[in-house]
Amino acid sequence: MTADRHTQDLAGRSALVTGSSRGLGRHYALHLARLGADVVIHDVDAHAAAEFGEAESGEAVAAEVRALGRRSAFVTADLTDPAAAERLVARTVEELGGLDILVNNAGGDIGATGPRPDPNDALDIDPDDIRAVVERNVLTTMYTCKFAGRHMRERRTGKIVNVGSVAGHVPARNGIIYAAAKAANSHYTRCLAEELRPFDVNVNCIAPAPTYTGRFLATRNVADQSDRSRLQQVAQPDDMASIVVFLVSSASDHLTGETIVCW
């Protein structure tokens, strides 16, 4: 019998996780590093974590990766600018010698650093906020996929994980633009998966449920969870990171174009 080739061993793999100086992105990056991957850490701001009461900085997360014996660097880039996305991918390839894994985690709704603005509905939201949400969640994903996907297509291998949201799969009366943007990420994933299927590049999406992160705690009133069942409680970051690990490992080699919705 031949050995099982489906494992979560990421030794020798190179990864880029966008928006990874804090929150879920940081957990995604550290999980990949623990399994053997070298990881480039990215954020639009080196000290973005401070906005949500988290102690980490982008450089500190890169140091955490290096402490695990992996290569890492921290790079700032505004991914709403396609030229910046191209530079980020090029820097990753330069630092790590290639790019095997892309996790498009960067995003967020308006009001991400405090109370959501009112109104935040479809008919009364400010047009500048509409543009910002679409750029922050959809265009950042498309731009980074464009340049990382070219690299992976040429090498005929790679794993891309886009990040949607449960909000993109249920009707929303508040935050509808964010919900629509995340739904767009899921469909973009399906389409890009078909384009890259002939080149053995897997493209999938995770749609996280509300999860305990610094941003979540800074913007929500969190009720006591002790009397709820496990599947009724707010998720922990490790719950989402484990799904990302599955999607970038050989365990998902025959899965592409799918969105895992974490209800």
* Given 28, 178, 188, 212, the catalytic residue: 178
Concatenating the DSSP letter of every residue in 123-158 gives TTS-HHHHHHHHIIIIIHHHHHHHHHHHHHHHHT-E
Length of the chain: 263
Residue 85, Cα to own-chain centre: how many angstroms? Answer: 14
For 121-150, b where at least 16 C-beta lie within 10 A, e where not — what string?
eeeebeeebbebbbbbbbbbbbbbbebbbe
DSSP single-letter state for residue 197 = G
Active site residue 212: no
Give the integer Cα–Cα distance in Å for 249 and 241. 12
- Distance of alpha carbon 25 from alpha carbon 33, whole angstroms: 12
Structure tokens at 3: 């050995």
Q: Are strands 14-17 and 72-76 parallel, antiparallel or unpaired?
A: unpaired
Backbone phi, psi, residue 35, to 5°: -90, 5
- As beta bridge partners, residue 72 has 39
C-alpha separations of 236 from 100, 109, 214, 230, 242 in Å: 26, 20, 12, 11, 10
* Dihedral sign (CA 108, 111, 115, 117): negative
Please give the positions annotated as active site: 178
